[in-house]
Structure 1
Amino acid sequence: MEFIKGFTFGWDSQKGYFKTERAKESLRLMQERTASEYCIIALTALQETAHTTEIDYKGLHMVDDDELIEMIEYAKSLGLKVILKPTVNCKDGTWRAHINFFDTDVPCEPKWGDWFASYRDYQKHYARIAEKTACDMFIVGCEMVQTERKEAYWRQLIAEVRQEYQGLVTYNTDKYQEDNVTFWDALDLISSSGYYPINDWENQLDRIEAVIKKYDKPFFFAEAGCPSRSGSAMIPNDWALEGSVNLQEQADYYQVMFEQTKRRSWVGGFGLWDWQTYLHDESEVEQNDDYGVYGKPAEQIIKTYYQSR
């Protein structure tokens, strides 16, 4: 597997976003300013709560199929490789890792079987688009920690996705969960979200390396990044952490992350989090404390690193 020099793009895009020139210009700038070669297009379906079983992927909160296909084709016209990542969130704000049901079916209670049936329908819909547009990879889920113990359901889902899409298939587990997933053998790659404290990369890479050796699969960080906020380098996964804008702390985080992972030949790349569909104004970076790197010192660190690989 070639080294994945990637960025996540399109997160939280709604109907119509991908049709705009502003979105296309953002994608072009992502490639130009970070030397990215891969674009991970992340979609956001919704369910009401962590304990409801219907997944809505056809509402105004989603880009239409035709505009998604248009954006994939535009990305390819730029020379980018495309990874499609249909994800689900909860409308009430609960993180998707907490989607959960009783292990034993109970009358009048929501059931795993119903949720996975809806989730399979969602994934297979986009697997067909990934096949139609010749996407380079398909990610069947992201950070769905409580669902991961339902191994049989995941194996069935992966098998059905493969009937629709012939390319590489992976699952993006959450930080610290790489050694808890039991269905890696059914996938082509292992991937996870690498939001590890800046001073703990070596320990976590040691732990992940044991998983890679066990399954003998390629690995990459399908997500990784850090807000430009004081304190975030120690808790990069906490998007709600309160702190002052700190562009240097974000840059330092990327520098350390790249230095530590470069020593491990099995780390096969990144899908960094995240490049926004609608970019902030570059003149306002001193007031911007989110994960975006546009116009920030971290942007050049990423470009230099990707150009060196």
Structure 2
Amino acid sequence: MEYICGMTYAPFARKGSYQEKSAFDSLKKMKENTNSNFVILAPNGLQDTAQSEEICYTSEATVSDDELKGMIDYAKELGMRVALKPTVNCKNGTWRAHVNFFDEDVVCEPKWCNWFESYTEFQLHYARLAKEMGVEMHIAGCEMVMAERREAEWRKLIADIRSEFDGLVSYNTDKYQEHNVKWWDAVDVISSSGYYPLEDWENQLDRIEAVVKKFQKPFFFAEAGCMSIVDSNKVPNDWTVQGEADAKGQADWYEAMFEACLKREWVRGMAFWSWNSHLYTKNAALKRKDYEIYAKPAEKIVKKYYDSIQK
């Protein structure tokens, strides 16, 4: 697999978001400022709670198919490969990792079989769109930690995706979960969320390496990032960290990740979280306390390494 120098662009965009000129300008700026050769687009599926069985992807909360196709075309025009990662979220704010049901069906209780039926419809809709648009990769979900134990359902889902899509198929597990997924042999590419502490990259890469060797599949970080806030680089997965803005601390985390990952030949890339469709002013950059890297020191770190990798 060609090395992935990627970014996630405007995840969970609402309908209309990709119609604005500023969205196209932002994608172009992302390409110019980071030298990304790969972009992940993450259309939004919504269920009411973590125990709801139905997933909606046709409301105003989800970018339309026509908009998505237009952005895919433009990304390709800019010379980037594209992955679709249809991702489920809960309307009530519960993190998708906690979507869960009884292992045994119980009358009058929500069930895995109903949820997977809706989830499969959601995934196949975008798998068909991905094939139509010549997308490089379909990532069949993100950080569904409690659902990952349902091995038979995931294997069937991936087989169903392959019946509609002939590109690479992956799945994005969460940080610290790489060794818990039993069905990596079903996908083409193993991927995970690399939100690991600044000082812990070597330990975590050692652990992940054992998984990659076991399954003999390509691997990349489908998500990774750190907020520009004090101490975020110690717990980059925690988006509730409070404190002063710290753009240098964010840049230090990116430097540490690149230095650790580039020593491992089996790490075949990363796609950072994330790049917004509406950019803030450069003057505001150093005051921000989020995962965005535009006009922050971390942006220059990403471009330096992506330039070096693609020489």
Equivalent residue runs for 1:171-210 within 5 Å: 171-210=171-210
In the alignment, what sits opposite 2:120? 120
Q: Distance in 1 between matches of 2:112 and 2:281?
A: 44
Provide structure 1 residue ranges, at least 5 long, that are not aligned to the other structure: none
In the alignment, what sits opposite 1:159? 159
In the alignment, what sits opposite 2:276? 276
In the alignment, what sits opposite 1:43? 43
Equivalent residue runs for 1:93-112 within 5 Å: 93-112=93-112
Give 1:17 shift. Answer: 0.6
Q: Distance in 1 between matches of 2:143 and 2:253?
A: 22
Given the alignment of the two structures, is residue 20 of structure 1 paired with residue 20 of structure 2, yes or no?
yes
Q: Distance in 2 between matches of 1:43 and 1:257?
A: 27
Bigger shift: residues 188-197 or 275-284: 275-284
Give 1:286 shift. Answer: 2.1
Aligned partners of 1:168 and 1:188 also within 8 Å = yes
Given the alignment of the two structures, is residue 54 of structure 1 paired with residue 54 of structure 2, yes or no?
yes
Equivalent residue runs for 1:231-242 within 5 Å: 231-242=231-242
Structure 2 residue identity aligned to 1:167: G
Structure 2 residue identity aligned to 1:67: E
Question: Over residues 97-148 of structure 1, what are the superposed CA-to-partner deviations in whole Å (9 max), with x where a residue is unaligned?
Answer: 0000000000000000000000000000000000000001010010000000
In the alignment, what sits opposite 1:293? 293
Q: Distance in 2 between matches of 1:209 and 1:97?
A: 23
Aligned partners of 1:6 and 1:36 also within 8 Å = yes
Q: Distance in 2 between matches of 1:302 and 1:3?
A: 14
Q: Distance in 1 between matches of 2:173 and 2:149?
A: 12
The percent of aligned pairs where both chains have the same amino acid is 55
Greater than 3 Å deviation, 4+ residue runs:
none
TM-score of the superposed pair, with normalisation by structure 1: 0.99
Aligned partners of 1:10 and 1:43 also within 8 Å = no
Question: Over residues 251-287 of structure 1, what are the superposed CA-to-partner deviations in whole Å (9 max), with x where a residue is unaligned?
Answer: 0000011001111110000011101111222221122
Q: Distance in 2 between matches of 1:106 and 1:280?
A: 50
Give 1:96 shift. Answer: 0.2
Q: Distance in 2 between matches of 1:105 and 1:39?
A: 39
In the alignment, what sits opposite 2:80? 80
Aligned residues: 309
Q: Secondary structure at the match of 1:156?
A: helix
Root mean square deviation of aligned Cα: 0.6
Q: Distance in 1 between matches of 2:82 and 2:130?
A: 9
Q: Distance in 2 between matches of 1:137 and 1:116?
A: 21
In the alignment, what sits opposite 2:307? 307
Q: Secondary structure at the match of 1:89?
A: strand
Equivalent residue runs for 1:194-273 within 5 Å: 194-273=194-273
Q: Distance in 2 between matches of 1:279 and 1:55?
A: 30
Q: Secondary structure at the match of 1:292?
A: coil
Give 1:239 shift. Answer: 1.0
Q: Distance in 1 between matches of 2:66 and 2:51?
A: 31
Q: Secondary structure at the match of 2:180?
A: coil
TM-score of the superposed pair, with normalisation by structure 2: 0.99
Q: Distance in 1 between matches of 2:130 and 2:136?
A: 8
Give 1:2 shift. Answer: 1.0
Give 1:12 shift. Answer: 2.6
